[in-house]
Amino acid sequence: MKKTLVKNVKWQEAIKYAVLKTKHNLSLHNQKFPHISNDKCYEWGDNEDWIEGFWTGIVWLCYEYSGDEYLRLQANTQIDSFHRRLQAKHALEHHDIGFLYGLSALAGWIVEEDERHKLLAIRAADHLLGRWREESGLIQAWGPEDDPENGGRIIIDCLMNLPLLYWASIATGNSRYAEVAVRQAELSRKFLVRGDDSSYHTFYFDQSGNSLRGGTHQGYSDGSTWTRGQAWGIYGFALSYRYTGNIRFLETSKRLAVYFIERIPADGIVYWDFNVPVTGSTNRDSSASAIAACGILELLEHLEPAHPLRQRLEDAVMLTMTALAKSSMDMSQENEGLIDHGSYHVRGNYGLDGYMIWGDYYYLEALLRLEKQIPGYWYERDKSEPYHI
């Protein structure tokens, strides 16, 4: 990778700032989890949404960078909260178990090699496996099994929950988790990715697994390409490739990445949907930019040094990260987040312009990938070769 991309004084400053900000936030909001921001301050709540793992992931990243014992203790205390949540099966009737438990318990296992964290991550993978619907052959994203609207629905975000399953097969020797993950990735490749390399956010199937139609939840329209969904796809397929060695997943990640980078505006931060008419007031989604940067950095790890796409992909990461780092360096105390101008659900008129905790997580992960070769917590680091399940 280009030297300017990997070693950059801007990245170092941005990471140091993120560590300071994280410690400050922890001291103010002990035991609470940030969600999205209301103006400059996060809304802080209990561990009961899909996003709490991102905060714990940030704390782990900050600990790994700084070695600060306070951060290590805070991350471990947060894992206790995830333990209680799984025990009580509290607000877990959805597929986002990888986001929640990958960045808390699995991260804790990766960093600390603490067997309790490993067991918790395996139990979380069991819970995710429970969302596999054998008859329709899919992981149901949302709601209970008999949910009339969501019973046969998959979403592109789910690709980022599959690493927990792949990992669980390696950790336990039980191939069932990975079999399900591969089937879900294949289904997503066939139905969520369109012929022009854009993507549906969601897709519906009937009870026997017959395909019905594509649709959206957070995108501009059913047939549009929700920017964050495309970013989940870039990263998710690259990770499925890492675990399986299936070249089709690598090709899909590449296709989605090229579609994405061809639509990055000159100032570096994408709009919330690639099909939304752009005016002066169209919302951005900095979190999609940060996720795509991480996904492309993962993808680059699997491309040979002279690959014809490499330069374009590296340039896109540089453009994106420079723009994000600029927005993150506002040192004023009242700003609780790192990257501004994220959006959550523009179509639903919720979380239109502010900090999104997942955006902050992926931004920091991208910085640490660039600066320290710390790749987040989607896979264990002790193996230099792909797993090729």
Of residues 169 and 240, the one with the C-beta less far from ligand GLY: 240
Min dist CB 285 to ligand GLY, Å, is 9
Of residues 76 and 240, the one with the C-beta less far from ligand GLY: 240
- Note the helical H segments in the chain: 3-6, 9-28, 52-66, 69-88, 97, 107-112, 115-129, 162-172, 176-191, 227-244, 247-261, 286-301, 310-328, 357-372
Residues sharing a CB contact under 8 Å with residue 255, sequence separation 6 or more, in sequence order: 193, 197
Min dist CB 310 to ligand GLY, Å, is 28
* 353 classed as catalytic: no
- Of 39, 114, 157, 206, the catalytic one is 157
Contact by Cβ (8 Å): 37, 21: no
Of residues 64 and 353, the one with the C-beta less far from ligand GLY: 353
| Number of C-beta neighbours around residue 97 at 10 A | 26
Min dist CB 158 to ligand GLY, Å, is 9
Min dist CB 184 to ligand GLY, Å, is 15
Of residues 218 and 244, the one with the C-beta less far from ligand GLY: 218
Min dist CB 347 to ligand GLY, Å, is 11
Structure tokens at 125: 């993978």
- Of 80, 96, 147, 267, the catalytic one is 96
Report d(CA 276, CA 279) in Å as an integer.
9
What is residue 345's three-state secondary structure? strand
Contact by Cβ (8 Å): 387, 166: yes
Burial 161-186 (b: 16+ CB within 10 A, else e): bbbbbbbbbbbeeeeebbebbbebbb
* 285 classed as catalytic: no
Of residues 21 and 228, the one with the C-beta less far from ligand GLY: 228
Task: Give φ, ψ of 350 to 5 degrees.
Answer: -135, 125
Contact by Cβ (8 Å): 192, 233: yes
Report d(CA 131, CA 136) in Å as an integer.
11
Report d(CA 41, CA 340) in Å as an integer.
11
Of residues 14 and 292, the one with the C-beta less far from ligand GLY: 292
Min dist CB 178 to ligand GLY, Å, is 22
Residue nearest to ligand GLY (CB): 157
Min dist CB 99 to ligand GLY, Å, is 7
Of residues 157 and 360, the one with the C-beta less far from ligand GLY: 157
User: CA angle 360-230-292, nearest 5°?
Assistant: 40
List residues binding ligand GLY (CB under 6 A): 157, 218, 228
Enter the DSSP assignment of 274.
T
What kind and span of H or E run contains 212? strand 211-215
> Which residues participate in catalysis according to the annotation?
96, 157
